[in-house]
Amino acid sequence: MPKILVAEDDHLLAQYYVTLLSQWNCETVVENRGTDAIRRVATFRPDVALLGVVIPEMGGVEAAIKLLEICPATKSILVTEAVPPETVKRLAAQGYRFPMLPAPFTREELHAVVFGQSGE
């Protein structure tokens, strides 16, 4: 059963994630701030982290980099309506290549990115 950490401050979207992921037999926890998501990793140890790019206290990009440092086995996926090309270039120049799930997305796209990243 894949363990999924969702970092999303939009409560309706977070509930949508939980609903779909539970249908796919995923154990899911939700945090609405990046800093809380990082703290949760210590006890939850997720296989996959779905990170909203724009979330309070620590954005998804910064959280993905921090997750890579503290829990390299967790695969971070950035979920966003748009990531500026300069951000993608900056991350690539620093050696980071995080998968991105552009919003809006279909349930099939979410399934593909989660299960493609979780190894399940």
CB 89 within 8 A of CB 101: no
Residue 117's pLDDT is 58
Q: How many CB atoms lie within 10 A of CB 44?
A: 18
47 token code pair: 């296989």
The DSSP 8-state label assigned to residue 65 in this structure reads H
Q: How far apart are CA 29 and CA 80, in angstroms?
A: 19
- Mean residue pLDDT of the chain comes to 89
Delineate the domains of the chain, giving CATH numbers in brackets. 3-118 (3.40.50.2300)
- Residue type for 26, please? C
Q: In the chain, what percentage of residues exceed pLDDT 90?
A: 61
Q: What is the CA radius of gyration of the chain?
A: 13
Over residues 13-27, the pLDDT tens digits come to 899 999 999 999 999
Give the pLDDT confidence score for residue 105 in this predicted structure: 87
Query: What is the C-alpha separation between 72 and 110, in angstroms, rounded?
Result: 22
pTM score of the predicted model: 0.88
Which of the two residues, 88 and 42, has the higher pLDDT score? Answer: 42
